[in-house]
Structure 1
Amino acid sequence: MSVADDSTDDHGHHLPAVEDWPKGFGEASWWPFITAIGAAGFYIGAALYVLGRGDNALVGPMVGPAVFVASAFGFLTGLYGWVYHAFVKAYWSDDGHGSSALRWGMILFLGTEIATFGAGFTYYFFIRAGSQWVDAASAVPDGFLGALVVANTAILVVSSFTLHFAHVALRKGNRSRFLGLLVATLVLGVVFIAGQVYEYYEFIVHEGFSLSGGLFESAFFGLTGLHGLHVTLGAVLIGILTVRALKGQYTAERHTSVSTVSMYWHFVDAVWIFLVVVLYAGAVV
């Protein structure tokens, strides 16, 4: 992600990764590489966790969790640098510079996310088509598609509307409405995350429904956990938008990061609806 001007003298901001690196590639940033390595580490950590279980474990039981935690640190660090370089630096250096490129970058990123979730859903459809599905489906706990799932779905859908109309209000120059709806979106996102954590608690502690239970459990926690990670990341991004909005950094002409974060949030909303239809409703039908 490039910016027009690497100077920081006028505003005193710390600007990570604005140097020309690798040499000869222009205004290149190495933060996306750190972010990608951290994201890959999630999968490596999960694989090592599986390999560390059982009587014939190939690695120690704590190797997988340690790799996962280290990867999370690397992912969040890379994401911070990337977002700062792409949006905060771009705000001070140029009015709207590269906005089209950033939006297309988000579209390409969402394309990779579709592939990631697609792999998870392919696994789920594979086990559903297998002969072991009858036994796997018997593990579905009581109240699987209950009031909590319905409420969480409604919350996430409403949050997409509040973020959309916040963006509309900003483009119309209504700053107070923009701020109010943006804060409402953030609150709804946090409530959704809390609802999913509570659902996990109920399933694991009271129902004995856990990741190590079997085929369906691994598919359920894999897909919903991956989605929960994306919602958490989205809530962090919306939090950053809120802080910047309170500082008056967005106007009707300057709103690229609001646009790209909105695209991301609508994506996780759509994935959740698909999850509810395929995973929750599909398991009890």
Structure 2
Amino acid sequence: MSAAVPKGTTPYYYVPGPSRHPLMASIGLFFVILGAGQWVNGVSWGPFAVALGLVWWLVVLKQWFGEAIHESESGLYSDRIDVSFRWSMAWFIFSEVMFFASFFGALFWARIYSVPALGDMEHALLWPDFKAIWPSSSPGATASPAGTVEPFQIMGPWPIPTINTLLLLTSGVTLTIAHHALRENQRSKCITFMWATVVLGAIFLCVQGYEYYHAYVDLNLKLTSGIYGSTFFMLTGFHGMHVFVGMLMLLFITLRLQKGHFTPERHFGLEGAAWYWHFVDVVWLGLYVVVYWM
């Protein structure tokens, strides 16, 4: 990834040369999808193909991001590149907003329209024992009055989800402090609070892991627990995945800070990760109210 630019000169708009990385990353993802498809169908080599694809993909990403970091630290990125990065991150977060909006929409439709519709007079002839209530936590109160959905308990807001809410809100505060510290050229303070944010994100994931264990073992709440179970794990699970991705972003930004990267004037890597993390915080607040309280 290179351009014909004199050494030490910032180009008007840096355009990298042809790169092998998109093709190599696609090969890794191909093995991930192929292996996953075979794995769910019981083929013995499926898990190994998934592992191979993930390792391949991660190695390619390390090389790809390493080159991008080298370009940035070499002074090849002008203010115009910075504007492009900001627009790209903004559109990416917008796509994530739409991603979660579809899941919130599925929960809304199931709860407000689908379940009540199944309990009307027309459907009563087909399912006379059906009770159109939410959450559908027991046989006779689900879309399977015959009892094909096992009885389960719902996940309330206390204590685990509330603890996770406090963890995420605190992490948003520590990240904001870190950002302002870098803008004031207080690098040590910035690094300290960035590590605090990463640790809080990791604790959130551990607590959510315990929440899922509690749901499966103590509440018998599973992905197969009717529409409630599927929407619960769909929303909280994808959010947990986004927390994991955001935590990795913050981790690598922190490691770069320790190497002396970023300045008070130029640090969009940190800003972009902060935008993403605050987006994750906002989504969780929506989940906390809609999934756990309502």
TM-score normalised by length of structure 2: 0.73
Q: Which runs of 4+ in 1 moved over 6 A?
A: 2-7, 61-71
1:228 matched to 2:240? The reply is yes
Q: 1:69 to 1:125 in 2, by over 3 A?
A: farther
Deviation readout 1:20-50 (Å, 9 max, x if unpaired)? 159xxxxxx6279749968x959x96x999x
Match of 2:148 in 1: none
Distance 1:69 1:205, change over 3 A: farther
Aligned length: 255
Q: Does 1:255 align with 2:254?
A: no
Give me the whole-angstrom Cα distance separating, in 2, the residues matched to 1:225 and 1:281: 18
* Aligned residue among 88, 91, 95 for 1:112: 95
Correspondence for 1:102: 85
1:91 and 2:81 aligned: no
Moved more, 163-172 or 137-146: 137-146
Identify if the C-alpha distance between structure 1 residues 229 and 188 changes in structure 2 by more than 3 Å, giving closer, same or farther: same
Cα 1:137/1:64, change in 2 over 3 Å: farther
Correspondence for 2:210 among 198, 203, 210:
198
Do structure 1's residue 30 and structure 2's residue 22 form an aligned pair? yes
The partner residue of 2:163 within 151, 158, 179 is 151
Q: 1:113 to 1:176 in 2, by over 3 A?
A: same
Q: What CA distance in whole angstroms lies between the structure 2 residues aligned with 1:68 and 1:216?
A: 30
Corresponding residue for 1:277? 289
* Whole-angstrom CA distance in 2 between matches of 1:74 and 1:20: 20
Aligned equivalent of 1:20 = 18
2:110 to 113, 127, 136: 127
The whole-number CA distance in structure 1 between the counterparts of 2:269 and 2:213 is 34
CA contact (8 A) 1:96 1:254 kept: no
1:35, 1:77 within 8 Å by CA — same for their partners in 2?
no
Which stretches in structure 2 are left out of the alignment for 5+ residues? Answer: 9-15, 119-131, 139-151
Aligned mates of 1:278, 1:75 — CA distance in 2: 36
Conserved in 2, the CA contact under 8 Å of 1:209 and 1:217?
A: yes
Following superposition, the deviation at residue 91 of structure 1 comes to 2.6
Contact 2:25 2:56 in 1 (8 A): no
CA deviations 1:210-258 (Å, max 9, x no partner) are 1122211111111111010010011111110111111111221231200
User: 1:103-145: CA deviations, max 9, x gaps?
Assistant: 1111111111111111111111121122266264326626621
SS at 2:284 equivalent: helix
The answer for the alignment partner of 2:184 in structure 1 is: 172
Gaps of 5+ in 1: 11-17, 23-28, 53-58
Give the number of the structure with larger relative contact order, counting CA–CA contacts within 8 Å between residues 6 or more apart: 1
- Identical-residue share of aligned pairs (%): 30
Q: Equivalents in 1 of 2:207, 2:98: separation in Å? A: 26
Aligned to 2:133, what secondary structure does the other structure show? helix
Provide the alpha-carbon RMSD of the alignment. 3.6
Give the TM-score taking structure 1 as reference length. Answer: 0.75
Q: Which has the larger radius of gyration?
A: 2
Distance 1:207 1:69, change over 3 A: farther
- Change beyond 3 A, Cα 1:102–1:259: same
Residue 31 of structure 1 contacts residue 82 of structure 1 at CA under 8 Å; is this kept in 2? no
* Whole-Å separation in 2 of the counterparts to 1:81 and 1:170: 27
